[in-house]
A and B are shown apart, each in its own frame.
Chain A
């Protein structure tokens, strides 16, 4: 299997990472070498094997839905790259 330039661009769109043509070519080369290494898994017959999704194969414990944190709105907003009063600011999304 080979990953062509069009596929690389498609994956970059899905990943929300913009890349230029030069980077895409280089990345395509890397991905092809990594995937040819990954193809090795096809040697194994796994028809009757159950997938292992997590090592902790128990039902995850739930805890009560309680508010525990103190009022830290100010501190949280301090980390924001763009804010207006108590809001995060993003580029305009509705016309």
Chain B
């Protein structure tokens, strides 16, 4: 019986708790027990099990079934500050940091009755595409042993696919929700910039960072998104727009919807299976009354180089706060400057240092115009491409990634090859648009592959609906065998 609980999806669990078929305590214990048996995956950085069970018992004593997540246990990416629960951002420099405040997104989850059972592994400061830059070690993809779960929300995708949590949340700066979702056969939504509050999320690149849900299916995703997305005066870029009941409004009717296919996303060397999957998606849209329109996003090829200027520049500025004075790790130094330099040298990992240095360089005197300003101008061109496309279409369909999950260690020594993994996801962050990745099939090796639906700004409902229609017709099955449980 216990094992069955973790097979249920989020909406099903909510339903069963509301019908009193299951208690919050039963559900919470079931996910915790499975998490305890799954240490080999290394999905968790911090556990909050005892506390969570206490909270579940309190909920059951006086259940409030009006809540959207009534006593539902949820593990979250360790980039969200959680009051009194250690928050590390996958870094040694924050190894012992205990926030005195709660991020708005996790607060929203708590307000709806959710219970945090733990903090999930991620690339250090969300900088990475494979979870291999985490100070707390590699994470296993439950799909197959020694396979990366994607990144930076790799602990989240792993824990979700392995059913250690019924849903989770990640952050996406250049693909960090959608790529790991694609690598693990799960659903991941990066909302429009300004939709979910950034308050209390450890900052990486502030003009690109967005929090979003990761779930087993589109229904669960809609529920999580409507909980996460609120206007927040604590985030100066939070946008005050009318949020919908995304779950209630979810429907698979895509009749008359115009879907764009950007020709620039047919890149050289992309595996045949991905192309076939894309064709399958196109066919489903046509069969369901949608209209396929060939579009052009001519500056697509410039998105990655632009991103690798803008994101490190913002990161170098954001990460200047880690100086070993008020919180975090500190090294001994002969004087103040020496202390700063040693603290940062020992506290940050190689990828983070690399990006801070790229960012410092492109912002430094004499190079600002050539790099940073140039990148901001190209960012405008990339956004203009989407604005043009959206005069003709309602949404855009592309693959989520140019390949399936790769082996741990395979790309670690070649930063550029690692960066290329985000080729289909990065342009969307630069343009601030919403996009969802849904599992759509497997490659020859049996590894999952995803399709991405990109929407107009603040039109998450349309891409959820299109994803819902695709999901119904694809009927994807994740063949995960529990190989990590003895």
B159-171 vs A, Cβ < 8 Å mask (1 yes, 0 no): 0000000000000
Given known pairs A11-B364, A61-B233, A90-B336, the reply for A37 and B379 (CB within 8 Å) is no
Say yes or no for B484: interface residue by CB 8 A criterion. Answer: no
Task: Give me 5 A-to-B residue pairs in the complex whose CB atoms sit less than 8 angstroms apart, sorted by A's number.
Answer: A37-B416, A51-B377, A56-B239, A61-B233, A81-B328
A30, A41, A61, A78: the one within 8 Å of B354 (CB):
A30
A45-68 vs B, Cβ < 8 Å mask (1 yes, 0 no): 010011111111000111100000
B72-113 vs A, Cβ < 8 Å mask (1 yes, 0 no): 000000000000000000000000111011000000000000
**Cβ–Cβ < 8 Å partners of A7 in chain B:** 361
Check A30 against B415 for contact (C-beta < 8 Å).
Answer: yes
Check A81 against B324 for contact (C-beta < 8 Å).
Answer: yes
Say yes or no for B8: interface residue by CB 8 A criterion. Answer: no
Listed from nearest, the 4 A-B pairs whose CB atoms lie closest are A55-B432, A51-B376, A79-B327, A81-B330
Say yes or no for B49: interface residue by CB 8 A criterion. Answer: no
**Complex Cα spacing A38 to B416, Å:** 10
Given known pairs A81-B330, A91-B333, the reply for A14 and B360 (CB within 8 Å) is yes
A18, A38, A53: the one within 8 Å of B308 (CB):
A38
Check B348 against A52 for contact (C-beta < 8 Å).
Answer: no
How many chain B residues sit at the interface, stated as a range, is 35 or more
**Cβ–Cβ < 8 Å partners of A63 in chain B:** 233
Say yes or no for B245: interface residue by CB 8 A criterion. Answer: no
**Complex Cα spacing A91 to B343, Å:** 13
Check A52 against B383 for contact (C-beta < 8 Å).
Answer: yes
Most chain A CB within a 10 A radius of its CB, from B193, B301, B416, B419: B416
Closest to B420 in A: A37
**Cβ–Cβ < 8 Å partners of A31 in chain B:** 354, 357-358, 361
Check A40 against B354 for contact (C-beta < 8 Å).
Answer: no
Given known pairs A49-B380, A54-B207, A91-B334, the reply for A37 and B308 (CB within 8 Å) is yes
CB distance from B134 to the nearest CB of A (A): 19
CB distance from B267 to the nearest CB of A (A): 15
Q: With A52-B377, A91-B334 given, name 14 new contacts (CB 8 A).
A: A30-B354, A33-B415, A34-B358, A42-B374, A49-B381, A51-B380, A52-B380, A55-B194, A60-B237, A61-B236, A69-B101, A76-B327, A81-B325, A90-B325
Most chain A CB within a 10 A radius of its CB, from B348, B357, B364: B357
Given known pairs A15-B360, A18-B342, A78-B98, the reply for A34 and B337 (CB within 8 Å) is no
Say yes or no for A5: interface residue by CB 8 A criterion. Answer: no
Closest to A92 in B: B335
Closest to A1 in B: B370
B101, B326, B329, B380: the one within 8 Å of A88 (CB):
B326
Check B236 against A82 for contact (C-beta < 8 Å).
Answer: no
Say yes or no for B375: interface residue by CB 8 A criterion. Answer: yes
Check A34 against B416 for contact (C-beta < 8 Å).
Answer: yes
Say yes or no for B265: interface residue by CB 8 A criterion. Answer: no
Closest to B312 in A: A34
**Cβ–Cβ < 8 Å partners of A27 in chain B:** 353-354, 357
**Cβ–Cβ < 8 Å partners of A15 in chain B:** 316, 344, 353, 356-357, 360
**Cβ–Cβ < 8 Å partners of B345 in chain A:** 17-19
Interface residue ranges, A against B (CB under 8 Å): 3, 7-8, 11-12, 14-19, 27, 30-31, 33-34, 37-44, 46, 49-56, 60-63, 69, 72, 75-76, 78-82, 88, 90-93
Check A91 against B335 for contact (C-beta < 8 Å).
Answer: yes
Check B326 against A79 for contact (C-beta < 8 Å).
Answer: yes
**Complex Cα spacing A6 to B47, Å:** 45
B291-321 vs A, Cβ < 8 Å mask (1 yes, 0 no): 0000000010110111011000000100010
Closest to B101 in A: A69
**Cβ–Cβ < 8 Å partners of A50 in chain B:** 377, 380
**Complex Cα spacing A46 to B416, Å:** 25
Given known pairs A15-B316, A16-B340, A31-B358, the reply for A53 and B329 (CB within 8 Å) is no
**Cβ–Cβ < 8 Å partners of A72 in chain B:** 100
Given known pairs A34-B416, A53-B207, A54-B237, the reply for A17 and B379 (CB within 8 Å) is no
Check B341 against A46 for contact (C-beta < 8 Å).
Answer: no
**Cβ–Cβ < 8 Å partners of A17 in chain B:** 341, 344-345, 348, 353, 356-357
CB distance from A6 to the nearest CB of B (A): 13
Closest to A75 in B: B100
CB distance from A18 to the nearest CB of B (A): 4
CB distance from A15 to the nearest CB of B (A): 4
CB distance from B378 to the nearest CB of A (A): 6
Check B305 against A37 for contact (C-beta < 8 Å).
Answer: yes
